[in-house]
Amino acid sequence: MQTYLVGGAVRDTLLHRPVTERDWVVVGATPDQLLNKGFQQVGKDFPVFLHPKTGEEYALARTERKSGEGYTGFVCHASPDVTLEEDLRRRDLTVNAMAMSDDGNIIDPFNGQQDLINKVLRHVSDAFSEDPLRVFRVARFAARYDYLGFKVAPETVALMTAMCSTPDIKALSQERVWKETSRSLMEGTPAVYFEILKKVGALNIWMPELDNLAELPCLLSQLNKSAADDADLPTRWALLCSALTESQVRNLGTHLKAPNLEQDAALNACQLLNHLAAAQQNAEALLSVLNKVDAWRRPERLSQLLQVAKYWPAEKPTSIQAECFTGSLDVAKRIDVQRIIASGAKGPEIKKQLTAQRLHAITEYLSECGSVQPK
């Protein structure tokens, strides 16, 4: 029985990048041998085990064979006679198909080290096309390693393009596509992910609202700037969706099963960003923005919107003065509705007086601080 470190941990070690998780392959072993050593089996479809002390994943060497349609149609074969090279052959990219022995020796049957030197993301074999999720994974890796100068090999781009003309690309689960997309959004140059998907045809299939968007190049440029500022996921997703209509944002979010937090930020952005510049000059318009984002009960929604506004509009970001909104919210929240009720107001009159007093407070605040004209 031999154990090897494999995949991303080897790749990132050779690139001198931090290794966040380690995966292992065990060659020449049976499930019982690992169970007897205290490993816990967690994979039903694949022979994957958790180390009793480190909790790291150890998988028996295996091969995979396409057995049917769709991305789940695979037969897995794991046995002591499966070699390390056979296990590595089933992987997606040459830079991910390397292993490291206990003594630090690199096993590299598909020239992954040379591709690391040449900064190329290249598929291992034509079996790459059997799993359409790899289209999105490669685009994500390209976004991650773009800062190092990595590019996708032309032959891999051609294969990815061909894969996007098959029914399998449409059969992917929404959750898996969103997972790859959300992870890519949090990379250093997330624009690359969407540029590659557009190039190979996957964006038109899974995110047609973005594929057909004239403002996409500008949005992607701003998206990279938000990444440089370490913006959070809801901000990045909202920025990407900010030039879409409300119905397009809803359709895109539904298609990808985007989580509520990200979808809420995107809807607020597409509905309100165009009004912020004018609102910071007008108390009534500003109060309307506060009401629409429900800033009274959920001030974090206003903060999120203002984060996106830093990069909007994509063609030429204006100077949205966040303090105009946060300060206005602060003074308006000081209005005591209980005092209004105590004064004898009832029913609709309560809301009317509350609105009037909030509007007066915001007007005075903007007047005192001097509402700053957009630059």
Annotated domain spans of the chain:
1-112, 119-206
Superfamily in which the 1-112 domain is placed by CATH:
Beta Polymerase, domain 2 (3.30.460.10)
Rounded to the nearest 10°, the torsion over CA 136, 211, 266, 170 is -50
Tokens of 23: 């995966």
What's the pLDDT band for 168 if we cut at 50, 70, 90? very high
Question: Phi/psi of residue 25, each to 5°?
Answer: -115, 135
**Closest to 65 in 3D by CA, of 138, 112, 136, 131:** 131
- What residues have CB less than 8 Å from 72, skipping those under 6 apart? none
What CATH number labels 119-206?
Answer: 1.10.110.30
Q: Is residue 43 predicted with pLDDT exceeding 90?
A: no
**Strand, coil or helix: what is 281?**
coil
Q: C-alpha distances in angstroms, 105 versus 3, 58, 100, 209?
A: 12, 19, 5, 48
- pLDDT (tens digit, 9 = 90+) per residue, 223-258? 999 999 999 999 999 999 999 999 999 999 999 999
Distance between CA atoms of residues 39 and 136, nearest Å: 32
Q: Is residue 374 predicted with pLDDT exceeding 60?
A: no
- Binding-site positions: 8, 11, 21, 23, 91, 137, 140
- Binding-site positions for ATP: 8, 11, 91, 137, 140
- Binding-site positions for CTP: 8, 11, 91, 137, 140
φ/ψ region of 243 (left if φ > 0, alpha if ψ in -120 to 50, else beta) reads alpha
What's the pLDDT band for 13 if we cut at 50, 70, 90? very high
Mean pLDDT, the chain, integer: 93
Based on the number of CB atoms within 10 Å of its own CB, is 247 exposed (0-12), middle (13-18) or buried (19 or more)?
Answer: exposed
- Binding-site positions for Mg(2+): 21, 23
- pLDDT (tens digit, 9 = 90+) per residue, 273-316? 999 988 998 999 999 999 999 999 999 999 999 999 999 887 77
